[in-house]
Amino acid sequence: MASTAQSRIKSISYAKYGYMFIAPFFIVYAFFQIWPLINTFILSFYGNGDAASEFVAIENYQTLLFGGEGRRERALNDTFFQSFANTVILWVGNFAPQILLSLLLAVWFTDSKLHIPGQGAFKVIMYLPNIITAVSVAALFMRFISNSQMSAVNTILQSLGNETIKFENDPTWSRGIVMFIQTWMWFGNTMIMMMSGILGINPSLFEAANIDGASSGQVLRKITLPLLKPMVVYTLITSMIGGLQMFDIPFLYHTAQGDIKDHLRTVAVFIYEQFRVGNNVHSPQYGIAGAASIMLFVVTAILGIFVFRMNRDQDEARKKAERKALVKEYKKQQKLAKMGGID
Amino acid sequence: MNNLKKTLALMAALAMTATAFVGCGEEESSSVSESSSVAEEVSEEASEEASEEASEEASEEASEEASEEVSEEVVEAEVPALGTPDGTLGDGGDALTILCWTEDDLKFMYDVVANASGMDKSKMVWSQVGTAGGEANEKYAQVFASDDDVDLFFCDADWNMAYQNNDEYSAPLSAVGITEDMYANAYDYTGAMGKDQNGGPKGATWQVAAGGYAYRTDLAEQYLGITTPEDMQAAIGDWAAFWETAATVYEASEGVTAMADSLGGVWRAYSNGNRTSAWVQDGVITADNSKACLGDFISMAKTNYDAGYISTASQWTDDWLPQGMSAGAQANKTFGFFFPTWSLGAGSQLSTAEGEEGAEGSTYGMYNIVSGPTGWFWGGTWICVSPKTDNATEAGQFIYYMTVDSTSMQAYVDAKSDFVNNKVVMANTIKAGTNSNPLLGGQDQLAVLADSAANIDMSIATQYDATINTELQNAVQAYCEGTIASEEDCVDEFLNKLSESLTDVTVE
């Protein structure tokens, strides 16, 4: 028999203090994150420039997706699709080498037979580019290889008596450089991810393979890669979300003021340009920028779901489905029984 | 103990919340807290960069020779004394606050205005908003939206119309006792440019930004055998002659030296010297009109760029100004620069182009200025009154002594050797011959540019010109560098980009 004091204590809920403590964060989050998200959605149905308060329904989406009669509509449509293509090219071009390089390094670094000396130093050095801000990295590469006559590569070309090259003007060069920068910045990060994935694999599997006389190629193909799949999928999804929003390097890689090259304009850069066009600060195009943002969000979500579904564990998925079916069946029977009981 | 923990946890939570607001702070620096040496550096950069976005307007063809002396007597017109504020604006506030991005100019102005009006210098403060004109343009709206004290603000010719046409941002000058008839001695275009769409004066300027062509005297002698500015002007008196001379220079220098410093420079001179039609008419840019505005510029640019007569460097990049020196990676790559009045003083573009006196490759003092193939101009800064001002009297005094009063404007010329917006003061200064610019080997740039200044016409300026200039230069640069195949595509690209960024203008 519990005393009254005990039962009173039982009724005290400490949860409310927890809610009170986390409330400030959620209030701020709702105000500065959720509301802007919703507002972006609302703005995408309103006009641009001076007509920002005018409701135009889906006109902005129409313009971006299908163009229209006027020069403005056609131009925006072209630029939008071009920027989507750029985004995909730049992302694929930096993700493919990045994941291969990271995998290779991760396998080497975790291989117990290799014993690479100075591993710690290598890891730190390879991770370093990721610590530097994108702005500094862009500034660095502008000095190294760009349109400028005074960039390192052009200076060398000149001193060898060659013509200087306007690296930003050529789509292959400039995209290649941006891809390289992105790869260089992110492969260290991906490598750490891969290593943690490999270290998470049960070592007895590797030992067993060694005892059975498997070659390192076989170990890689039959053990490491299949078991690393969840980590690769995770990296793929995060990198894809990040890649579709790629902004800083393509935005910063140009010498002349405001001269963002057409073959480097990503969707995020396009959105920023529409949102605040350099000299044109008095008529920001919130509608177009909002619509483009929402479409980018939709595309990212669809791709994310697609990749996730493609790569999830087939067995796991089947089991889950079976479990669900079982539960459903059980509930059905219970219901029947209940109904039978009432009768 | 429990209470202590709770309090600590609450404080930690609040602190975390507070950090979320970190981004909301203001970024302006204020005159009160700034150390002068740093401030000077910043503002030098500022005035340099401000011009980057500087304006584009048009003037009539002015092919007068620079050698022509301004000899005729300029009669000083009587100007009325400063009126009193009409009472629609606040008055009696603590301090006169001025928003600008060129605090270097402000330092001189404060002395001039304080001496002339007897105003207490400590009553005047400025607020540096951004370091470039474009940045100031973006940030002014934020400052206006806050409750900060603003009495006057500076606007670049590029975008002053956008502020003047908006009553929310600018009050009529008449409200602080400034009337139109005070500007009898001013250059005509400055008055027109300072009016809003209803014709009411909203802004006044102290500056006239006539442009010229600053060339290397040593290269002129070496390649052309020319020793005087008069002969130089004769050799480049119009565009045809200019490109002919360019060919001579290019050959004589074995393909090193280009006549024009950048495509942007040629465009400024062409656009503000030879264009006769406003870009936007009745809210429309028609194909015919854009053709009329462009004239033969694109083909002229392409031909001469390909021939090597226009340097491949872009304006405002690191490649641009070092071309003016005689050593280094960019040595001797240009014969001269298209520069306006504000590029010719100490610490300005010309002094960067020359390098420090005595340094390796320095061309200090080895430049002369002539008016060049066309009379033209570039930019200028207008002063506007904020409707929220609480110092109408002082605001009126500042504008009056900076833009109307001959005595104080003369003091400003003597201090800063700027080309001021007062014909009498300029005529007297030129006549007295007191202005000698060491960067130009002692030449008086004011005398050379006086004719161009007298011919500036901004009647075809529109508030969209800043965007138009940027997009056109990008498109033409791309065409010249070969990334755009034909002239037709170049115009198309330019109009496409324009149509994307201008929401209230129809581009056909």
Tell me: pLDDT of B128 over 90: no
Across all residues in chain A, what is the average pLDDT?
88
The amino acid present at B433, given as its one-letter code, is: G
Task: Give contacts of B 167-186 with A, CB under 8 A.
Answer: none
- Same structural domain, B403 and B481: no
Return the structure tokens found at A175. 């995209």
Residue A274 is assigned to a structural domain of this protein: no
Q: How many domains does chain A have?
A: 1
Chain A residue closest in CA terms to B474: A259
C-alpha dist (Å) from residue B22 to A28, A50, B61, B131:
12, 31, 53, 22
pLDDT band at A281 (very low <50, low <70, confident <90, very high): low
Q: Contact B316/A277, CB-based, under 8 Å?
A: no
- Same structural domain, B493 and B481: yes
Q: Contact A75/B316, CB-based, under 8 Å?
A: no
pLDDT band at B23 (very low <50, low <70, confident <90, very high): low
Spatial separation of the C-alpha atoms in residues B5 and A265, rounded to whole Å: 52
CB B454 within 8 A of CB B189: no
Chain B residue closest in CA terms to A258: B470
* Cβ-Cβ contacts under 8 Å for B5 (sequence gap 6 or more): none
Residue B34 is assigned to a structural domain of this protein: no
Task: Give contacts of A 67-86 with B, CB under 8 A.
Answer: 70-72, 74-76, 78-79
Spatial separation of the C-alpha atoms in residues B32 and B36, rounded to whole Å: 10
Give the per-residue pLDDT at A342.
54
Spatial separation of the C-alpha atoms in residues A69 and A63, rounded to whole Å: 10
- Same structural domain, B165 and B102: yes
Query: At B471, which CATH number?
Result: 3.40.190.10
Residue A71 is assigned to a structural domain of this protein: no
Give the per-residue pLDDT at B42.
41
- Start-to-end CA distance of chain B, whole Å, equals 75
- Same structural domain, B328 and B472: yes
Instruction: Name which residue leads in pLDDT, A8 or A264.
Output: A264
Q: Which residue in this structure is represented by tokens 């034909």?
A: B486
- Same structural domain, B359 and B391: no
Total Cβ atoms within 10 A of residue A247: 17
Spatial separation of the C-alpha atoms in residues B124 and B136, rounded to whole Å: 20
Task: Write the burial class of residue A67 (CB in 10 Å: 0-12 exposed, 13-18 middle, 19+ buried).
Answer: middle
Task: Give contacts of B 101-140 with A, CB under 8 A.
Answer: 134, 137-138
**Which string of DSSP letters, residue by residue, matches B84-153?**
---SSS----S-EEEEES-HHHHHHHHHHHHHHH---GGGEEEEE--SSHHHHHHHHHHHHHS----SEE
- Same structural domain, B112 and B196: yes
Cα-Cα-Cα-Cα dihedral of A10, A12, A15, A18, to 10°?
-130
Per residue in B129-161, pLDDT tens? 877 777 787 788 778 878 888 999 998 887 888
Give the per-residue pLDDT at B20.
64
Span B453-462, average pLDDT: 85
CA distance B468 to chain A (A): 9
Residues of A with CB below 8 A from B483's CB? 169-170
Spatial separation of the C-alpha atoms in residues B486 and B463, rounded to whole Å: 29
Task: Give contacts of B 10-49 with A, CB under 8 A.
Answer: 10, 13-14, 16-17, 20
Spatial separation of the C-alpha atoms in residues B48 and B40, rounded to whole Å: 12
Task: Write the burial class of residue B65 (CB in 10 Å: 0-12 exposed, 13-18 middle, 19+ buried).
Answer: middle
Residue B359 is assigned to a structural domain of this protein: yes
Reported as type and span, the H/E element at residue B268 is: helix B263-271
Residues of B with CB below 8 A from A271's CB? none
Give the per-residue pLDDT at B31.
45
Residue B249 is assigned to a structural domain of this protein: yes
Of the candidate ranges A50-59, A175-184, B12-21, the one whose mean pLDDT is the lowest: B12-21
Residue A16 is assigned to a structural domain of this protein: no
Spatial separation of the C-alpha atoms in residues A149 and B107, rounded to whole Å: 37
Per residue in B204-252, pLDDT tens? 999 999 999 999 999 999 999 999 999 999 999 999 999 999 999 999 9
SS3 assignment, position B385: strand
Give the per-residue pLDDT at A6.
59
Per residue in A85-132, pLDDT tens? 999 999 999 999 999 999 999 999 988 778 888 888 999 999 999 999
Residue B294 is assigned to a structural domain of this protein: yes
pLDDT band at A303 (very low <50, low <70, confident <90, very high): confident
- Same structural domain, B409 and B326: no
Q: Contact A150/B319, CB-based, under 8 Å?
A: yes
Q: Provide the domain limits for residue A253.
A: 85-267
Give the per-residue pLDDT at A178.
95
Tell me: pLDDT of B61 over 50: no
- Same structural domain, B232 and B190: no
CA distance A78 to chain B (A): 10
- Same structural domain, B176 and B286: no
DSSP state of B258: B
Q: Contact A148/B318, CB-based, under 8 Å?
A: yes
Q: Which value does ipTM take for this structure?
A: 0.83
CA distance B229 to chain A (A): 31
Task: Give contacts of B 42-101 with A, CB under 8 A.
Answer: 52-53
Task: Give contacts of A 26-45 with B, CB under 8 A.
Answer: 27-28, 32
Tell me: pLDDT of B45 over 50: no
- Same structural domain, B113 and B149: yes
Q: Provide the domain limits for residue B395.
A: 69-209+378-432
Residues of A with CB below 8 A from B16's CB? 24-25
Assign 3-class secondary structure to chain A: CCCHHHHHHHHCCCHHHHHHHHHHHHHHHHHHHHHHHHHHHHHCCECCHHHCCCECCCHHHHHHHHCCCCHHHHHHHHHHHHHHHHHHHHHHHHHHHHHHHHHHHHHHHHCCCCCCCCHHHHHHHHHHHHHCCHHHHHHHHHHHCCCCCCCHHHHHHHHCCCCCCCCCCCHHHHHHHHHHHHHHHHHHHHHHHHHHHHHCCCHHHHHHHHHCCCCHHHHHHHHHHHHHHHHHHHHHHHHHHHHHCCCHHHHHCCCCCCCCCCCCCCHHHHHHHHHCCCCCCCCCCHHHHHHHHHHHHHHHHHHHHHHHHHHCCHHHHHHHHHHHHHHHHHHHHHHHHHHHHHC
Q: Rounded to an integer, what is the distance from CA B174 to the centroid of its chain? A: 26
Span A32-36, average pLDDT: 93
Of the candidate ranges B80-94, B443-457, B485-499, the one whose mean pLDDT is the lowest: B80-94
Residues of A with CB below 8 A from B159's CB? 279, 281-282
Residue B448 is assigned to a structural domain of this protein: no
Span A233-240, average pLDDT: 90
Residue A291 is assigned to a structural domain of this protein: no
Query: Could you tell me how many helices (H) and strands (E) chain B has, helices first?
Result: 19, 12
Residue B332 is assigned to a structural domain of this protein: yes
Of the candidate ranges B54-63, B87-96, B492-501, the one whose mean pLDDT is the lowest: B54-63
Return the structure tokens found at B356. 């420090």
Q: Rounded to an integer, what is the distance from CA B466 to the centroid of its chain? A: 12
Q: How many domains does chain B have?
A: 2
Q: Which residue in this structure is represented by tokens 């506007």?
A: B384
Asked if A203 has any chain B CB less than 8 Å from its own CB, the reply is no
- Same structural domain, B371 and B492: yes
Tell me: pLDDT of B30 over 50: no
Q: Contact A283/B504, CB-based, under 8 Å?
A: yes
pLDDT band at B192 (very low <50, low <70, confident <90, very high): confident
- Same structural domain, B204 and B73: yes
Return the structure tokens found at A180. 């390289």
SS3 assignment, position B215: strand
Helix A71-110 / helix A286-311 crossing angle, nearest 10 deg: 40
Across all residues in chain B, what is the average pLDDT?
84
Residue A158 is assigned to a structural domain of this protein: yes
Chain B residue closest in CA terms to A164: B312
Residues of B with CB below 8 A from A71's CB? 495-496, 499, 507-508
Residue A341 is assigned to a structural domain of this protein: no
Spatial separation of the C-alpha atoms in residues B36 and B104, rounded to whole Å: 10
CB B157 within 8 A of CB B379: yes
Q: How many CA atoms lie within 13 A of B56 on its CB side?
A: 29
pLDDT band at B49 (very low <50, low <70, confident <90, very high): very low
Residue B20 is assigned to a structural domain of this protein: no
Q: How many CA atoms lie within 13 A of B33 on its CB side?
A: 5
Per residue in B333-387, pLDDT tens? 999 999 999 888 877 889 899 998 888 889 999 999 999 998 898 888 999 999 9
Residue A297 is assigned to a structural domain of this protein: no
Query: At A201, which CATH number?
Result: 1.10.3720.10
Task: Return the residue in A60, A71, A274, A279 with the most chain B beta carbons within 10 A, the one to mutate for interface testing.
Answer: A279
